[in-house]
Amino acid sequence: MENYFAVIGDPIAHSLSPLLHSAGYQSLGITAEYSRFRVTPSKLKEAVYGLRALGFSGWNVTIPHKESIIPLLDELTPEAENAGAVNTVKQLNGKLIGHNTDGNGFVLAIENKFNFSDKKAVILGAGGAARGIAFALKEKGMRIHILNRTLSRAQELASLIRLAGGEASSGDLLPGVWLKDVDLVVQTTPVGLYGENYPISLQGIKPKTLVVDIIYKPWETAFLREARKLGCQTINGLPMFLFQGVLAWEFWLGGKAPVEQMWAALVNEVQTK
């Protein structure tokens, strides 16, 4: 029996999810197909019903649907419930189960380069990816400061983290004293996807700070380029993208995903473009 999987979002043409998962299927000889569908917000409900009716085993969810898809699902895992966002859906016995692999995928992506203990993270953005990452960093014992253009969104997320027993604060998406007092900066918005400059500068940031942009295409956004020139350590979104996909794979199919083969396919793609 062939398994059908997909990723839905808008925009979606840049997504390397089909490449990532197809490399894994090929490596293990699994009969499966992974598609990419552009779904606008007004068509999300129809798309979810369609994927369910067509018997898709699961699908990934990206911008801008990670929160709005929740009412269309039957159940949430604790990871999705805590984050208030879903990036992975599994259809099991006719039920749609929402899961979030963003947070744990992010932790796996940086854990070999960063010591989480008693450190401060600043998260730029308060959308679906930010939520998953914030809760995962809370579990690692980090103090979290969330900055967002719409302050109420940052305040809401910080409040949820505090209710869950974490230490969190919020503010407007502006430079400030936080630049001198941060160990990890995570850029979670889509700004930079098309090469545009980031709306705030990192001038004044503490050197050696780890700065991560979850965008993986382009390889180095203007945001990361500035961070690198200011003496920061930088990581783009490709490692997180790998591990969130690996965790989604294992949620759908069980067993261990072929991480090395999936990573090799991604690196080969981005380095030859």
pLDDT tens per residue across span 195-206: 899 999 999 999
CB 63 within 8 A of CB 45: no
Q: Tell me whether the omega of the peptide bond preceding residue 190 falls within 30 degrees of 0, making it cis.
A: no
Give me the domains of the chain, ranges plus CATH numbers: 3-100+239-271 (3.40.50.10860), 104-236 (3.40.50.720)
**Amino acid identity, position 217:** K
Token pair 């898709």 in the structure block, residue: 56
Q: Which of 240, 271, 188, 248 is closest to 7 using CA atoms?
A: 248
Angle at 182 between CA 239 and CA 201, to 5 degrees: 80
**Is pLDDT above 70 for 1?**
no
Question: Is-catalytic flag, 256?
Answer: no
**Above 60 in pLDDT, residue 52?**
yes
Q: What percent of the chain has pLDDT over 90?
A: 91
Contact 248, 87 (CB under 8 A): yes
pLDDT tens-digit series, residues 113-127: 999 988 999 999 999
176 confidence band (pLDDT: 50, 70, 90): very high
* Cα 59 from Cα 42, distance rounded (Å): 18
The answer to whether residues 210 and 233 touch, using CB atoms and an 8 Å cutoff, is yes
Instruction: Note the pLDDT of residue 273.
Output: 62
What's the whole-model pTM score?
0.94
Choosing from 43, 66, 95, 113, which is the catalytic residue?
66
Residues 86, 83: Cα–Cα separation, whole Å: 8
Dihedral angle, C-alpha 67, 3, 20, 234, nearest 10 °: 30
